[in-house]
C-alpha cells in the first residue's frame, strides 16, 4: 500500500506502521526514523535569535526554562562574549561609571606618570590607592593618594597604635 510520509512528503510502500505516533495531533505515518525524529524535534523546538550575534537558531523548548536570563545563544563562545563574568561584575559595581571601573583607575589616569607619592616606585601593578581620611566612600581625587604596597602598609600600621 502506497502511503505519503508526513515528514518529508514522499510516497513510500508501507506494510507496517513502524514509525508513527498517536498523540493529540492524531495518527501520523513516517517513511523512516529520521523523518519521525525530525518531526518530533520541530514540534518540541522554538526558533529564536542568538542574544549576542542575532543569528537565527533552533533550540529545544526545554532550554527556555534552563536559562537564568532567558537569553539563548548559538554557541558557548557567543554566550561568553555576552555574559563575560568580569564584565558583569564591574558593570554592577556601584563605582563603575562610563566604562571606568572605580577610584583606582580614576586616580591612576589623573597623573602623567603613576608612581608612589612617598618613595617614587613606579610599577603600576604594585601601586595601590590610599584614602587619606580613611573613608572608603570618599572617592574625591583630592582624598586619594597613590602608594606602593609597602608604603600603603606602613601608612596603615603607623596610624594604628596597637600594632607593633
Do 126 and 145 share a domain, yes or no?
yes
pLDDT at 117: 94
Structural domains in the chain (count) = 3
Q: What is the share, in percent, of the chain residues with pLDDT greater than 90?
A: 18
Do 137 and 115 share a domain, yes or no?
yes
> Per the domain annotation, does 69 fall within a domain?
yes
pLDDT-derived band at 74 (thresholds 50, 70, 90) equals: confident
> Per the domain annotation, does 73 fall within a domain?
yes
Task: Find the domain containing 75 and state its range.
Answer: 45-83
Q: Using the 8-state DSSP alphabet, how is residue 97 labeled? A: B
The per-residue pLDDT for range 87-99, each reduced to its tens digit, is 455 555 555 555 5
Do 152 and 116 share a domain, yes or no?
yes
Query: Per-residue b/e over 58-97, b at no fewer than 16 CB within 10 Å?
Result: ebeeeeeeeeeeeebbbeeebbeeeeeeeeeeeeeeeeee
Distance in Å from the first CA to the final CA of the chain: 98
Do 55 and 23 share a domain, yes or no?
no
Q: Is the pLDDT of residue 48 over 80?
A: yes
pTM of the predicted protein model: 0.41
Amino acid at each position: 500500500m502506497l502511503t505519503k510520509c508526513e515528514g518529508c512528503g514522499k510516497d513510500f510502500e508501507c506494510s507496517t506502521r513502524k514509525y508513527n505516533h498517536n498523540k493529540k495531533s492524531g495518527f501520523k505515518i513516517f517513511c523512516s526514523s529520521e523523518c519521525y525524529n525530525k518531526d518530533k524535534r520541530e514540534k518540541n523546538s522554538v526558533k529564536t535569535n542568538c542574544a549576542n550575534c542575532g543569528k537565527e537558531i533552533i533550540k529545544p523548548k526545554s532550554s527556555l526554562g534552563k536559562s537564568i536570563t532567558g537569553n539563548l545563544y548559538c554557541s558557548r563562545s557567543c554566550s561568553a562574549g555576552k555574559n563575560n563574568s568580569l564584565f558583569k561584575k564591574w558593570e554592577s559595581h556601584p563605582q563603575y561609571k562610563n566604562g571606568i571601573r572605580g577610584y583606582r583607575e580614576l586616580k591612576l589616569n589623573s597623573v602623567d606618570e603613576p608612581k608612589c607619592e612617598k618613595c617614587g616606585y613606579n610599577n603600576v601593578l604594585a601601586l595601590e590607592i590610599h584614602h587619606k581620611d580613611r573613608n572608603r566612600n570618599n572617592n574625591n581625587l583630592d582624598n586619594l593618594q597613590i602608594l606602593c604596597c609597602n608604603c600603603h602598609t606602613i601608612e596603615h600600621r603607623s596610624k594604628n597604635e596597637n600594632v607593633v
